[in-house]
Copies of this chain bind each other. A is one copy, B any other.
Amino acid sequence: MKTSGLVEPSVAAEEIARVEATILRVVASRSALIPEVHQHLVQAGGKRLRPTLTILCARAVGGCDERTILFAAMVELTHLASLMHDDIVDHSATRRGKASVNARWSNGVAVLVADWLISTISHELIGHGEYAALGILTGAVRRMCEAELIHLEQRARTWELPEAVYLEIVRDKTGALMAAACELGALAAGATAEQTNALRAFGTAMGMAFQIQDDLLDLTGDPALLGKPVGTDIAMGQLTLPVLYALENSTDGLLDQLRAAVTVTSPDELDIPRLRALVNEAGGIDYSRRAAQTYVDEAVEELACLPEGPAAEALRGLAERAIRREA
């Protein structure tokens, strides 16, 4: 299993082990494919970032109990299901250095296993009478799907995407589930309304920073560390913040070259070193780094209303590393 450098393994190792045990219990099924697919995903590693957020948020305002573990497991399963469906949407053949589920099995298996997971999450939370938690997760999934559809529509249309629209998409696409992860921690620990709002806002801002870092890595990352090729977003016709900024803020010769560099009909045609140089020249990389830092600062500020302690400290560390990671 790779470490991503984002979540320090020691930060919540014991709780994460309990989350894994809960997940293993939940993915038992008459269909042999379900645990098999899950095993494949586990072997590919993963940051376990979202359950870590749930656990740390619960600890920051009270403590981590059985409900926290259940919620953390359900957040992680929601994330795994969304990855399987995203890989269909993006025709991705690899994920974390291993074959994606659609590539290893088929689109059909990726569709059905993820659908089963989503219905199993509901089943589990309803079985425990955790309706508020289910509402939080369902709301996040709904916003994620809607944002992804808006992003897809945008792909089909043009290389022009206003930055404000882009940021709204990212807020829902990546921010919503991280916000839900944090809110579920707050719910489990019986946080006050003020703490809950702060933790939700922390999750959203952290998600924004995280996604912008993903955008940067798609242009500047190392495929070996990422476990997938770079340039995949651009090759799919999907604007990322560095490219979007560069296209919006350059003129004449540079703009023509940028447009030519992003307009490809297949991923193989994409000249990443050249695109990176052009985006850099237009200031897109610097701008995106500053934007990501702004969201990290915002996230950290939200923590001010929490009691000082190791959990709040760990959350701060997570936010700061979200934009320093290389995978």
Contacts and interface: CB of A to CB of B under 8 A. Distances in A.
Interface string A126-146: 100001001100110110011
Contact of A111 (B111, B122, B123, B138): B111
Interface residues of A, number: 38
Of A31, A122, A126, A152, the most chain B CB neighbours within 10 A belong to A122
A113 B144 CA distance: 11
A80 interface: no
The 3 closest A-B pairs by CB, nearest first: A89-B108, A116-B145, A31-B149
B135 A119 contact: no
Contact of A153 (B33, B88, B122, B138): B33
A119 B142 contact: yes
A16 to B, nearest CB: 26
A298 interface: no
A53 B138 CA distance: 27
A148 B113 CA distance: 10
The complex is assembled from copies of this chain, and their number is 2
A30 B146 contact: yes
Interface in A47-101: 85, 88-90
Contact of A116 (B107, B108, B146): B146
Contacts of A134: 122, 126, 134
A171 to B, nearest CB: 12
B131 A145 contact: no
A10 interface: no
A118 interface: yes
A33 B156 CA distance: 12
A270 interface: no
A103 interface: no
Contacts of A146: 29-31, 34, 116
A143 to B, nearest CB: 9
Contacts of A141: 115, 119
A146 B33 CA distance: 9
A157 B183 CA distance: 44
Given A30-B146, A115-B118, 13 more contacts: A31-B149, A32-B153, A33-B149, A89-B107, A89-B108, A113-B145, A116-B145, A119-B139, A122-B122, A122-B135, A123-B138, A126-B134, A134-B134
12 contacts: A31-B153, A32-B153, A33-B153, A85-B112, A89-B111, A115-B118, A115-B145, A119-B142, A122-B134, A123-B135, A126-B135, A131-B131
A109 interface: yes
A150 interface: yes
B149 A34 contact: yes
A116 B145 CA distance: 5
Contact of A145 (B119, B122, B149, B152): B119
A134 B127 CA distance: 11
A148 B152 CA distance: 28
Nearest to A108: B89
